[in-house]
Structure 1
Amino acid sequence: MSSDPVLFGIDNLPYGVFSPRDEPAARRIGVRLGDRVLDAGAAARALGSAHVALWTAPSLDPLLAAGRQVWAAVRAEARSWLGDASHREAVAPLLRPLDEVSLHLPFTVADYVDFYSSEHHAQNVGEIFRPGGDALTPNWKHMPIGYHGRAGSVRVSGEPVVRPLGQRRPADGAATPGFGPSVRLDIEAEVGFVVGTPSTPGRPVPPAALREHVFGVCLLNDWSARDIQAWEYVPLGPFLGKSFATSISAWITPLDALDAAWTAPPARDVPPLPYLDDTAGGPGGLDLRLTVLLNGEPVSHPPFATMYWTPAQQLAHLTVNGAHLRTGDLFASGTVSGPEEGERGSLLELTWNGERPLRLADGERAFLADGDRVTLTAWAPGPDGGRVGLGEVSGTVESAPEAAEGA
C-alpha cells in the first residue's frame, strides 16, 4: 500500500471505513493522511463538528446522500482538523497507522454499471475478435456502450478473487460445451465513479450536473473470465463472465480533490447527439495515470486522459431513458487503454489474446494463474504542481471450488 505523503497529503484526504484490528465490528469513517487514518467520528466529537452524525456513521452512505454543499463543508472540516496547527493536540491521538486497522467496503453499492469507453481498448478488442472486419461497431462513436453489472459482487481491495466456474465453447468436434474453472481469467483496469445525490425518476441527468451527483472516484478492477464471456455474450452481452467479482479501492477520493486534473478529452470525429454534449461544464476528461502491477511487477501504465467518452457523458447516457440515480450507485469507465502497447489495461490486449505472453520474473503469463496478485495504482495532477493519489485496489486469485462436472 502506497503511503507516499505527497500522494496522500492535505490536498487529497480520501474517505474510507476502517475498524481497529482488536474491534473488527466497530466500523468507523476514516480520512487518510499519508500512512495514517484519522478516526473522523472521534475528531468530530472532540472538535464540536456540526456534522457529527455523518462522521460517526458506520459507512459513507449518509455522507453520500447529504449533497454537494455538505460534501464541501465536511471536506473543509477535515482539512482544518489535519492542517491547522491549533487542532494538532486534539487530533494527534486520533490518527492510527494504516497497518494497524482493517479496511472495509466504504459504502453500500446500490447499482453497478460498467462502460466501454476507451477507443484504444475497443479498437484492440475488435481487431482481436474481428480480424479483417470493422474493429468498432457502428454504434460505438454515437453513445457510451455499457452493461448493468452485479452490485452484490463488488468487493473491497484485498479480498481474494475465486476463479469462477462456467461453460466454455465446445471443443472442436464436441456437441456440448465444456465446463470447469475459467482458464482465461483477466483483469480490466478501470476508474469508478460513486454517486451521492439521487436523481428524480424519469428525469435525465445532463452532463453539466455531474458534480451535483458524483461524490468521488476510486480505482476499480472488473475481473473477467474471457472464455466464459466468449461463449455466453451472444446475444445479450456480459453475464457470468463478469458478475463473479469486481474490486474497488477502500478509499474514495472526493471529486473536489481532482480540480487540477480536469482536461480536454480526445478530439471526436463524430459529433455526439445533443444530450451527450459535455462542453458546457468545462473540460470533461480527467488526467489520471494508472499503473497495473502483476505480482508486484509493473506491466502497464494506462492513461485515463485518452478515454473517448467522459464521466459526464456516461452519467447522461445511463439516465437518458429515465433510469434514476440512487445514493451508492457505482459506474465504471470501462478498461483504460492508451495507444501504446505498454498502456493497455487488460491481459487480453497485453498478450493479444494469449498469443504474446508477458515475460515476468516468475515466468510467462497469458492470463492469470492461481496465486497471482494484481494491483492497480494511480495518481493525478494536484494543486501547485503536486500529485493526488488514488487508493490502490488489489486482489489475489484463489483456485476454483471443487464442483461436479457440469454442476
Structure 2
Amino acid sequence: MAAPHSRTTLTMLLGTPVAEASGHLCGKVKDVAVATGAEAGKVVGLVVKGRDGLQVVSAIDLRRTPSGALELRPAAMLRPLTQEESFILLRQDLLDRQIIDVHGRKVVRVNDVDLQWASHEHLHAHPDHQLEQLRVTEVEIGLRGAARRLLLGLMPAETLDRLVRRIPTSAIPWDFVDMIEVDPARRVKLKIEHDRLAQLHPSDIADILEELAPAEREALLTSLDEEVAAEALEEVDPKLQKSLMQSLDTETAAAIVEEMDPSAAADLLADLSEEQSEAILEEMDPEERQEVEELLEFREDSAAGRMTTEYVSASHEATVADCIEALREFEGDLETITEIYLLDEERVLQAVVPLARLMLARPETRVRVLSEPRLITCDLDAHQNHVAELFDKYNLRALPVLDKERRLAGVVEADHVIAFLRERL
C-alpha cells in the first residue's frame, strides 16, 4: 500500500480516527496543539476527543497508516487536556481568526493551516517504525483553504486534495505570522512580534489598526513601543484616535500622547471628554504637558491650533557649525525639519534658513547669509484657510507662526496643511 503523504492540513487532519494497535478506537482528532517561544511551530500533540473527553497525545507517539488513520505506538499514553497547558490550539485559537501579514502590510483571515510530517531529528527507531514529528509550515489565507473546508466530506479526501491544488495558493510562512490576543481569560497569550511591526511605516500600521476589531486594535497598539504607537496614532482617523484613547488606561494613554507631535496631541485631547483629557495630562511629564496645554488654548481651526512647537532654532548670529549642533540636540522628529529659524535675544524671528543650504555651506559661515530673502509668516489667530492659501501661493515647506510681539510661537508644517485639506474632502 502507498505510504501516506508527508504534507497535510489542519482541515484534513481534524476528525482523523486515532486507534490503538489492537484496533480499538480511542477517538478522533479534535485539535492540534502547537508550541510557542523557542519551539514555535512544533506540534506538541494532537487533541483527541473520545469517551473520556478531550485528551492529548504526542505526535511522535502516533504512527500514520496507509488508510489515513493514526495508530498509537506501543506504550503511548493519552493524557487529559488541562487549562494550564501553554500552547496554541490551531482550531480554537487560530482558524478563522484575523492575523497580521507583516510583509503584505494588511490584516488577513486564516482559512487553513499547512502541516508537515518529518523524521524526528533526535530519536531513532527501526525503519519500519520511524518516529516522526509534525510541524506547522504555513498559514493559508486564500481561496484554497476556504474551498478545502467547504468541500470536505463531499468527496474522497484524495480527490479533494487534487482539486484544491489547482487553486493558486496564498499563504504566509509560520515564521512570519503575528497573532493578537484579545481575551485576557484565554489560556495562551499570543504576543505580536512588534519588532517586525515597528519596521512598517506608521501609515501602514494605521491601515492595519483600521482593519481590526476594537479589542484587537487595543492589543496591537499597546504591544508597540510608545514612539511607534504615537506615530501610528497620528495617521489614523480622528474618530478612531478618540476610540483608541478611550479604550486605554490613563497611564498608557499618557505615555503614547507624550511621544506625539504636540499639535497632534492637543487635537486628540481636545476631542476627548474634559475629565479624560485632564487625567491624561496629569500623567504626562511637566515639559510635554505644558506644551500641549498651551496649544489646547487655541482654536483648532487657527494657525496656532495647527502648529507644532517642535522646531529647531538658533541665534541670528550663529554659524553653520552652531546650527548643526542644534540639529544634533533636537529631540523631536528630524524627518519633519526643513528649515532652521534664527531668533534674537527676545526670541523674535529674524530669518529662516533652508536645511539644504545649511548642509552645503562651510562650518564657519554665518547662517544669516544663507537665509531666505523674504520672510513669510502668519499670526497665531490666522484661520487655517489663510494658512493653506499661503502654502499654495508661496510653495512653502513650513510656515512660522508669530505672537503679538513677533516672537516665534510655533511652526505649521506641510503635513498639518495636508491633514486639514483631507478633512475637508
Superposition TM-score, scaled by structure 2 size: 0.21
Structure with larger Rg: 2
Superposition TM-score, scaled by structure 1 size: 0.21
More helix as a share of residues: 2
More strand as a share of residues: 1
